[in-house]
Structure 1
């Protein structure tokens, strides 16, 4: 793993959290300086509570942070970015957004509809969005639309499902390539602005 001491990683799980066999849990163990956002209620998520927990985690440490979000976690990041202070937004070096959940879809689980509407403002930090051609939570067309609205670089994987345990993504070593791509993009932008 690439050792970066001045940046911390923050795992932002989706609905129902990320179990031990989920790639987010594996990444948390192998990435240096990595923690996760814990929510009080993983089963009945409330938008404002999830945003507040994300904000508290970012505010708790002065160091720059890279967000690693999955599913509803991606939507939480977008909601947080749309209302966060400039000071906290400046701490975020980038966000890896994996399999964002389309909480506006017709068959969206009732527990998630309070996260709609999905913010359409560009994210004020670099982001990479990874979707899938057969993700039940957001089809490829919607994932590309989110990426365009948020200003994210986008990759749509073929037949990768929801990029979670059910779709066979346990360690997901392949994903590190996009994380490092994001960091390189972020580092270039940060050096230009410094």
Structure 2
């Protein structure tokens, strides 16, 4: 019991010593969805790329401010997209998830409910791309996993509705060229470590988001 009280007291002192925000919202994402084999770009059918390179997602996190303006934000980012042809004979989808950490600068506009923020950081992306069937000469393996570090640059515009409760619009630019790490084949439905020719998936692109934040 004594340890619990000490922990609660420590957390209380910590929360009083620093300001922090809880953030979260939905996103619309674009991503290059380009394949590279031994650093050479491999073409993807334009009809497929038109759909698979756009999708929706979400984010959630917390920003801890070291002083009035400068802070550290950490959280999770997720987005997905898919393609299906007209007769359902072929489909492909990608699902990407990643924990992130970023330096964040926040500037309040005096005597107004508005503020701006900017951030730069790292994300460890985990992508799974799956497909079923084939279309013409185009076929993909049933499952591929790409993992690796990415970078993000972003900025946001915030409007305080009431007592630290904000609505925000934000945009991020993502750099994420991820190596293939695991693969699933038609003959084996389980993922196995990939050890073939160097292959990468470029998921770099833009993210536009709308969300809410709560300041403490």
Give the structure with the higher percent strand: 2
Using structure 2 for the length normalisation, give the TM-score. Answer: 0.23
Higher helix share: 1
Larger radius of gyration: 2
TM-score (norm 1): 0.25
